Amino acid sequence: MLQIYFEDLEELVRKTVVRKSDFSEPLTRDFVEKYVKLTGDDALSHTSVSYNLLYNHKDIFIPGLAMPILAEVLFRKSYPYFVHIIRDFHLKLLKPLYPGDRIHVVEDFIDFKDDPRLIVDNSSPVSCKRKIKNQDGKVTAHFNIDYLIKRRF
């Protein structure tokens, strides 16, 4: 797979007005069950349809804390940034996702610092602001992530 290095980002950002991933496969109950077993996060919103119906939700929720990794894997299939380190991320959940929903990721903004003083282990800082959208085009979360992206030289 072709890797996108720090030096490639300026060209990519200049050429591509909107960077977005393809849609995911539908999110599944099986995924939620495995997530709950793996993490111990057995909140009723993830495990009980009847509980969620009391609050006018149609089904169990896809766990919000699973969104960063789902979004990151999905986005990097389309844009394989050569990530050295993920330094930080912020997630703001706006709407729940349910089994059967599909997501895609849209990158709204990218800020890269080409400052020699900020180079760490031949990598430079990059900040990205992304939106996670469902199959209806509704924003379900804001996802900001800071990387160190490898440099070619």
Mean pLDDT of successive 10-residue segments in the chain (153 residues)? 84 80 95 94 95 95 92 91 90 96 92 86 92 96 94 86
Residue 1: what pLDDT?
56
State which fold the 6-27+63-150 domain adopts: Thiol Ester Dehydrase; Chain A (3.10.129)
Taking each continuous run of H as one helix and of E as one strand, the counts in the chain are 5, 5
Residue 152: what pLDDT?
87
Residue 71: what pLDDT?
93
Residue 10: what pLDDT?
78
Question: Where along the chain do its domains lie?
Answer: 6-27+63-150
